[in-house]
Structure 1
Amino acid sequence: MSGTTSSFLGSPLLLPAPRATAFNPTRLHSTPQMSLNNPNPITTLTKLLWGQSLPPNLLISTARTAWSAAWHLMMSQLAPSDPTGTYTRPTSQFRLSPLNPLSRQNLHLYVGLPCPWAHRTLIVRALKGLEDFIAVSIASPGEDGSWEFKDYNCPIPLQDKDMMIVPSLDKACGRKTLKEVYNLMRGGYSGRSTVPMLWDVDKKEVVCNESYDIIELFNSGFNEISADNGLDLSPTPLKKQIDDWNRIIYANVNNGVYRCGFAQSQEAYDIAVNELFGALDMLDEHLGNYRYLCGDTLTLADVCLFTTLIRFDLVYNVLFKCTKKKLIEYPNLHGYMRDIYQIPKVAATCNLGAIMDGYYKTLFPLNPGSIRPIIPTGCENEMLSKPHNRESLPTVKKDAEVLVQ
């Protein structure tokens, strides 16, 4: 995911409960009144120009035209599109390759909490028990959308006593922004400074910034030192199924929500939203029969789907206009998401406050007021921790093929 569009102001601190007071119904509709001695100059000017009426048509049309031009200009940089207005995701520049031997010593992972692509790497790193071997620095989106590093020393304990992952300083290079880290490479760097990014500390080189390459490496490339080397999220008998699912999920769901939110024409949006919800309908039906995508085995395909689902009602349903249905309206998909969320160590990677801030407070072209809505009830930790009862689904035999519909 390009280092674009997220910011983090942190989760709220736990404050003492306020003293109880008598209910006052007049407070429901009361709003602070501006001092008469210090009126808003814009309000004063508009009253002088056209009183209590709406602005004149010419002003409205001029403002609409100017805003539309500015919006398209910003979106062309934030979310490049093709001539039809369809969002076209830039390709990752640094890929893992068998032709380039990888030194497994002194690697460092850079991520941003709002980013679903970076979230994949945090989950697989945690599930494989690589926390002590692959150190991580967690960037926060700045006001201009670039990734920067901030000190944040207030982790919040979860119900299962895991510690929620929070933004940090740059622990490997001591830089203030991720762009500065990329620029440490020989010859510098002029491309997008994106997360996730795997960094060779000794060579000062970007090893990889493609999320799927990184999670495949974490799954199988460090088994000699992994705390859970028995876990295989991409077993050989399931590789074809995993690839089939990933092709569907990436185009229609992972990238599908961005194709909705970043569409620059009605036609592009209509196509994207129909493909998104067609895929979600199919997935919900499939997961009514199987605990995970490939049967009763958690795979990398499930990790890739989860990081979009956990953000769906928080962000994509509202901000990205994915409004046909909420995820909570899909009983199997929502139960499946809770199932994965409740796997030990996964919840600690899901900083919901950082996710919401990262989209609503940074994606200015989509939310100029930077107002973050309240977290939906269905997305709160209490709801996500409710029993999912998916263990009761039929166990799939090892020789049974799970067909991708």
Structure 2
Amino acid sequence: MTADNGTGQRQTGGKYVEPGEFKRDQNYITTRITADGRDGYPVEPGRYRLVVSRACPWANRLIIVRRLLGLEEAISMAVAGPTHDARSWTFDLDPGGRDPVLGIERIQEAYFARYPDYPRGITVPAMVDVPTGQVVTNDYAQMSLDLSTEWTAYHRPGAPDLYPEHLRAEIDEVNAVVFRDVNNGVYRCGFAGSQEAYDKAYGRLFDRLDWLSERLAGQRYLVGDTITEADVRLFTTLVRFDPVYHGHFKCNRQKLSEMPVLWAYARDLFQTPGFGDTVDFDHIKRHYYEVHRDINPTGVVPLGPDLSNWLTPHDRESLGGHPFGPGTPPPPPTPTERVDPTHTPLP
């Protein structure tokens, strides 16, 4: 059975790199949880469990959006460990190696409960229907939008509007190019199977980062004057850039900390409640360096870089805007969902 780290790249015995250009498998389970329940899964607090790994950038999006919107009580969260084998992500962080709500050792079990012959990668994030133990969806891009648009009855007072209707076309446009060239672009570099494929991906990645630097030089956030879904999606790649993508994935024209505009932008978000307090740098580094053995055969995890600079002043307030618009910051994470303080310089 195959597994992956939320990349869409199937893993068989730790193999990630194939000849030529990296091709992401983007065929996900597209069932949706909606207010009207049109796919058979209505919005219902307490019914679903969000399965994530803090190592995974795609799962990190869902963790952030859930925090910002205050959906912790409505949707519980299971955290898989930072590494996995060829079969599946495992709940090795939990007592006895089992998720205490779903009662399973591997997220694979929830996939097979619905699809006994599921042929694709076993990915996180995934939403699981607790009563049946079956996976509902792993379509991470739609999942985060649905948290904003379908779960509004359970948003906390003061929750931000991460996908405002009047900005959706622009958000979608920005998200599309950021996904193609940056979110997925770092994987196209890291999993390139030829020099030509790597060179092409490298050029597209840094051309887009230059474009983003120009865009963000005069505005605090990517779209509009408040945090939106677009900022969440870019942040989870930027926060992993220096710890893993720069070295491990050979995205090494510059470090993020050497790109002044993007570095200040990323620090601004990191220091905003709901962003940095979801990041576990230890899990991130362990995952990439330990799991991708065809890129890093020894599995040795680097000790650097120094992370204390994430808390240095960013001075982005001078550009105006307000992170939550007329809303308010989320409260601190619950004790059971706090990141180990030794794993990240929490703001």
- Could you tell me the TM-score, scaled by structure 2's length? 0.83
Partner of 2:75: 134
> Offset of 1:360 from its aligned partner?
0.6
The 3 A distance-change label for structure 1 pair 145 and 388 is: farther
Partner of 2:327: none
Structure 2: gaps (5+ residues): 323-347
Q: Following the alignment from structure 1 to structure 2, what is the Cα–Cα distance between the partners of residues 134 and 103?
A: 13
Contact 2:94/2:100, CA 8 A, preserved across alignment: no
Summarize deviations over 1:136-177 as a string: whole Å, max 9, x none: 111122344731111358xxxxxxxxxxxxxx8413321111
Partner of 1:393: 319
Give the AA of the match of 2:103. G
Partner of 1:318, secondary structure, is coil
Q: Following the alignment from structure 1 to structure 2, what is the Cα–Cα distance between the partners of residues 129 and 215?
A: 13
> Offset of 1:133 from its aligned partner?
1.3
Partner of 1:259, secondary structure, is helix
Partner of 2:144: 215
1:133-152 correspondence runs (5 A): 133-140=74-81, 141-144=83-86, 146-151=88-93
1:324 maps to which of 250, 253, 260:
253
The 3 A distance-change label for structure 1 pair 349 and 298 is: same
1:100 maps to which of 29, 39, 50:
39
Partner of 1:373: 302
> Offset of 1:388 from its aligned partner?
1.2
Partner of 2:4: 4
The 3 A distance-change label for structure 1 pair 235 and 3 is: farther
2:50 maps to which of 106, 109, 112:
109
Partner of 1:120: 61
Q: Following the alignment from structure 1 to structure 2, what is the Cα–Cα distance between the partners of residues 128 and 306?
A: 17
Partner of 2:188: 259
Contact 1:130/1:226, CA 8 A, preserved across alignment: yes
Backbone CA RMSD of aligned residues: 2.4
Q: Following the alignment from structure 1 to structure 2, what is the Cα–Cα distance between the partners of residues 272 and 292?
A: 25
Matched, 1:201 2:130: yes
Give the AA of the match of 1:175. I
1:57-206 correspondence runs (5 A): 78-79=15-16, 85-97=20-32, 99-105=38-44, 106-140=47-81, 141-144=83-86, 146-151=88-93, 169-185=98-114, 187=116, 189-206=118-135
> Offset of 1:337 from its aligned partner?
0.6
Contact 1:194/1:209, CA 8 A, preserved across alignment: yes
Matched, 1:297 2:239: no
Give the AA of the match of 1:94. I
> Offset of 1:77 from its aligned partner?
7.6
1:215-364 correspondence runs (5 A): 215-228=144-157, 230-364=159-293
Q: Following the alignment from structure 1 to structure 2, what is the Cα–Cα distance between the partners of residues 149 and 75?
A: 20
Give the AA of the match of 2:4. T
> Offset of 1:242 from its aligned partner?
0.3
Q: Following the alignment from structure 2 to structure 1, what is the Cα–Cα distance between the partners of residues 228 and 283?
A: 26
Q: Following the alignment from structure 2 to structure 1, what is the Cα–Cα distance between the partners of residues 3 and 178?
A: 22
Contact 2:14/2:86, CA 8 A, preserved across alignment: no
Contact 1:128/1:226, CA 8 A, preserved across alignment: yes
Q: Following the alignment from structure 1 to structure 2, what is the Cα–Cα distance between the partners of residues 362 and 232?
A: 36
> Offset of 1:296 from its aligned partner?
1.4
Q: Following the alignment from structure 1 to structure 2, what is the Cα–Cα distance between the partners of residues 107 and 135?
A: 7
Contact 2:51/2:126, CA 8 A, preserved across alignment: yes
Summarize deviations over 1:13-46 as a string: whole Å, max 9, x none: xxxxxxxxxxxxxxxxxxxxxxxxxxxxxxxxxx
> Offset of 1:295 from its aligned partner?
3.2
Partner of 1:95, secondary structure, is coil
- Bigger mean CA offset, 118-127 vs 180-189: 180-189
> Offset of 1:286 from its aligned partner?
1.2
Contact 2:56/2:284, CA 8 A, preserved across alignment: yes
Contact 2:267/2:314, CA 8 A, preserved across alignment: yes
Contact 1:179/1:193, CA 8 A, preserved across alignment: yes
1:45-64 correspondence runs (5 A): none
Q: Following the alignment from structure 1 to structure 2, what is the Cα–Cα distance between the partners of residues 226 and 130?
A: 6
> Offset of 1:290 from its aligned partner?
0.6
Give the AA of the match of 2:317. E
| Identical-pair percentage | 36
Task: Indicate the structure (1 or 2) with the bigger Cα radius of gyration.
Answer: 1
The 3 A distance-change label for structure 1 pair 313 and 145 is: farther
Q: Following the alignment from structure 1 to structure 2, what is the Cα–Cα distance between the partners of residues 363 and 145?
A: 14
Give the AA of the match of 1:235. P
Partner of 1:366, secondary structure, is coil
> Offset of 1:220 from its aligned partner?
2.1
